Structure 1
Amino acid sequence: MIKKTSKDGYETIRKLEVKIFPEHPWSLKQIESHHEKNNSYLYYLDYMPIAYILFLENVYEMEVLRFGVLENFRGKGFATKLFADFLKKHPGKDIFLEVSEVNIPAISFYEKYDFEEIGERKNYYTDGSSGILMKRSFNNR
């Protein structure tokens, strides 16, 4: 079940952050500061949260800020279902995101949804890896 997250879901997202991104999880304050317009979804499997997406949206475009699936549930179609649902609920806009250059599975995932590399943030991560900026253009769809 995919649910739009309300304020009571912030702590759930925070707990997922710590498990999914242990090297650089967002704090509760960071999540709250990017959540003013209730722009996130949680994916529940048998009432257990296993994935989420956090994003910004304006009239013309969107930016995916965080997207993750618990490790034990990767490769089983949950990311695909959540992302496809997200795209279906927000049609007609360009979408931007950033992903680590070493996260090859994520880059491949986004490329399946017609995201293209548009830039790079050199040495963006603490391990020295760069961030790859990607865009999915509505006009090319």
Structure 2
Amino acid sequence: MKTYLHQYKFLQDVVLSEVFSGEINEALCKVDAILVPIPMNTEKLKQRTFSQVDELLASAGLPFTHLLSKTAQVQGEKSRQERLESTKLFEWNGKPIPDKIILIDDLYATGTTMRHAAKEMKMAGAGEIKLFTLIRA
């Protein structure tokens, strides 16, 4: 999985998004919630030219809605301790908040990213928040 993730994210092998599209679709196609991808840092998005989470969801044929924007430094560039001590990582973008949300990310390392995103969605008015990641580090 480490090799897959590296090739997909850093070598920009976007075709690899199709590898798990069937499993992702099967896991999420019948959920009664809005799929909300974790946004990328703007600079990283410019470098990579695509959002790996958006591409995974699109390859799986699943609709998704952006409700968050990234406000902080890239988590992968921080130590584990720095990630755990991070302050506000996201801001709600002002779009209407559904009652049920599933936050989607490619990698779950310390859980800091998901905790911060869930906290921001809860403060914006979401009722039920679930998490979905492709890889657990």
> Which structure's relative contact order is higher, taking Cα pairs within 8 Å and 6+ residues apart?
2
Greater strand content: 1
Shorter-chain-normalised TM-score: which range?
0.3 to 0.5
Greater helix content: 2
TM-score (ref. length: structure 1): 0.32
TM-score (ref. length: structure 2): 0.33
